[in-house]
Amino acid sequence: MKSPWAGKRTESYVPLLFVCCTVTFGCYFAAFMRLPVVPLYARTFGTSTSQIGVFNSAFYLMAGLLSFPMGMVSDRIGSKSVAAAGLIILSAASFLLVFCDTFALVTLVYLVFGIGIAAFGPTMMAFVAEISPPTHLGRSYGWYTTAIFCGMSFGPATGGFIAQRFDFVPVFVTAGAGLLAVFLMLIFLLPKRARSEAAAANHTGRRASLAGLFRNRPLVACWLVTLGACFGLGMFLSFIPLHAQNQGLNAAQIGMVFFAQGIVNGLSRIPFGQLSDHVSNRSRLVTGGVVVMALSMAGLGASQNAATFMASAALMGVGMGLAFTSIGALIAESVPAGLRGMAMGGYNTCIYLGMMISSAFMGPVNQAMGFKMGFVLTALVIALFAGLFFFIFRSAESASASR
């Protein structure tokens, strides 16, 4: 099946990729300013550690449930409209945090955040796969996910700084205004996507193709390892603010822990994307990266000062950069072009369900056993999913070679 970009110069996709990366950086920068702030804000009106896990899991649950159908919608009507709607919803949720003063209200607003990120994330990932030449998928996802994680690192660091200097509410107002600015960038800079011939051809057989996705073992292996790795990411995002505060770190230092993870995660994806396009088997990079993530979880649990927290968070960034750059490329290679929205929707579903399960399950575990043991258990879960991915992907390759 020919790519809609076949026959065009490889360089022709670069300006559009740049626009996608700019818009995506802005979205995640503004939306993730809240991460180190809301758990600390919620503690001011009596929210417990378990309840903080619950409202974080509400966000992940909503994002996970809606990512797959949002991916299907983007296959039908195009990415721009769905992503624009997601930005408006995220902006509204940020402004609504200003009025939250109870656990129930924060939980409701986090459900709204989940709707917004589900609309934005899968659609933009599918768009990147559509515009990229097959020979440059690793590099495209390297740059694109660099934009995501640079946004996810600078955003929390900025949010922590604003909260430390000015208070919590200015963080929410700044984030909401920033998301509106990103919405305008998307409207004016991103062209309306025309459905490719491949997408149109697949439209009529979509139900049969959907069933085929769940029989695609390489795709399922990628989904499962994403679920396991994001169990660890959920532990980090939800509970590092509380664990670090218990060890004496302030809001600005906690923001810098997020910054260390995100900046290493983001910048490492550029060379790892190049590497992914030049290795014979991307799955080995995935397995190695997820194992590094498991080691970083144990380090985070044992951390007692800002330096060790930042070092362990940076190690986590290396593992995620190595693994997730190749996961995106493997998924794009594993499915027809017209089903990439659904495949990326499933990928995003696994991201958010992994984080949701972690937030919901590990809140009571951390409260009962302490954060150190919680991070060790998380490391074991991640290692288990790395082994599962290796086994399923290798068996799929063996079956394909024997045909």
Sites in the chain below the pLDDT cut of 50: 1-9, 194-205, 208
DSSP H helices in 167-249: 169-189, 197-203, 206-213, 217-246
Q: What is the pLDDT of residue 207?
A: 52
3-state secondary structure of 204: coil
Q: What is the pLDDT of residue 224?
A: 93
Q: What is the pLDDT of residue 11?
A: 52
Could you write out the DSSP letters of every residue in 232-267?
Answer: HHHHHHHHHHHHHHHTT--HHHHHHHHHHHHHHHHH
Q: What is the pLDDT of residue 258?
A: 83
Rounded CA-CA distance 10/17 in Å is 12
CATH topology of domain 16-198+216-401: Growth Hormone; Chain: A; (1.20.1250)
The token pair that represents 292 in the structure block: 């590094």
Q: Where are the domains positioned within the chain? A: 16-198+216-401
Q: How far is CA 62 from CA 74, 242, 380, in A?
A: 18, 23, 26
CB 270 within 8 A of CB 141: no
Helices (runs of H) and strands (runs of E) counted in the chain: 15, 0
Q: What is the pLDDT of residue 375?
A: 94
Query: Residues 256-283, buried b or exposed e (16+ Cβ, 10 A)?
Result: bbbbbbbbbbbbbbbebbebbbeeeebb
Evaluate the CA torsion angle 263, 319, 27, 32 in order and state its sign.
Answer: negative
Question: Can you give 275-290 as a three-state secondary structure string?
Answer: HHHHCCCHHHHHHHHH
Q: Element (H or E) spanning 138, and its range? A: helix 137-166
Predicted model pTM: 0.73
Residue with tokens 């004016």: 188
Residue with tokens 């200003």: 98
Q: What is the pLDDT of residue 5?
A: 42
User: 392: closest CA among 334, 306, 352?
Assistant: 334
Q: What is the pLDDT of residue 211?
A: 63
Angle at 110 between CA 35 and CA 166, to 5 degrees: 40
Rounded CA-CA distance 3/317 in Å is 32
